[in-house]
């Protein structure tokens, strides 16, 4: 009696494994995109909270903004984000102003700001926003299930938007949001 597999048995087994793998891979891709959106949300909340806390502790304006060159706010939220002490409120890292945190967003994530002109978020020493408030909306890979939003109110409150209607998509205000990027 010989042991082992025949060529036909081996080909059938490999074909079945390939089919199972082909069915599993798209689900894994969606999982990675949801993870990228969730991780982005955690980082944004961390940066915004750190900016507000620094403004209160240092008794000075603090700015959170994207920056292409590491010193001036660019307004393009895909760029590296900076949290820095900005006592003169000019949205530029001047001599003597410390960069407190840096963060590079995941390349799979695409941002939209509301209002569209939102270039930075600043906190005054009292912890309220220094006239700059709004929302950042993003998603990874274009899937609506990865859509997330963090809003900053005029009072400086930072909140993540939740899925209140149970459709698996975070509710992003009354204005329709898309993940086109």
Within a domain: 25: no
More confident of the two residues 113 and 1: 113
Within a domain: 100: yes
Q: 26 pairs with which residues across the strands?
A: none
Vertex 131: Cα angle to 125 and 133 (nearest 5): 100
Tokens read off for 78: 């895909």
pLDDT reported for residue 166? 60
Tell me the residue range of the domain where 103 lies.
Answer: 33-160
Specify the pTM: 0.78
Within a domain: 20: no
Percent above pLDDT 70 for the chain:
83
Asked if residue 136 lies in contact with residue 111, where contact means CB atoms within 8 angstroms, the answer is: yes
Kindly report, residue by residue over 37-73, the tens digit of the pLDDT: 889 999 999 999 999 999 999 999 999 999 999 999 9
Within a domain: 95: yes
Q: Nearest CA to 169 among 47, 77, 37?
A: 37
Q: Which uninterrupted H or E stretch holds 141?
A: none
pLDDT at 165 over 80: no
Within a domain: 117: yes
pLDDT band at 22, cuts 50/70/90?
confident
Within a domain: 51: yes
pLDDT reported for residue 181? 46
| Rounded-to-integer distance, Cα 162 and Cα 151, Å | 11
Kindly report, residue by residue over 85-103, the tens digit of the pLDDT: 999 999 999 999 999 999 9
Q: Nearest CA to 40 among 140, 172, 176?
A: 140
Within a domain: 93: yes
Within a domain: 22: no
**CATH number, domain with residue 133:** 3.55.40.10
Residue 180, sorted as left (phi over 0), alpha (psi -120 to 50) or beta, turns out to be beta
Q: How many domains does the chain have?
A: 1
């Amino acid at each position: 009696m010989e042991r082992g597999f025949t060529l036909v048995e081996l080909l059938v087994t490999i074909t079945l494994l390939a089919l199972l793998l082909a069915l599993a891979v798209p689900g894994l891709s969606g999982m990675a995109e949801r993870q990228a959106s969730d991780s982005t949300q955690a980082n944004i909340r961390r940066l915004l909270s750190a900016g507000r806390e620094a403004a209160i502790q240092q008794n000075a304006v603090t700015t959170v903004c994207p920056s292409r060159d590491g010193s001036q706010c660019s307004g393009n939220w895909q760029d590296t984000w900076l949290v820095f002490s900005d006592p003169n409120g000019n949205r530029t890292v001047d001599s003597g102003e410390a960069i407190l945190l840096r963060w590079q967003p995941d390349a799979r994530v695409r941002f939209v700001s509301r209002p569209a002109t939102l270039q930075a978020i600043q906190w005054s020493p009292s912890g309220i926003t220094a006239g700059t408030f709004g929302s950042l909306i993003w998603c990874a890979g274009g899937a609506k299930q990865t859509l997330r939003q963090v809003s900053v109110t005029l009072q400086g409150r930072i909140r993540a938007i939740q899925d209140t209607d149970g459709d698996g998509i975070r509710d992003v205000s009354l204005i329709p949001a898309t993940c086109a990027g």
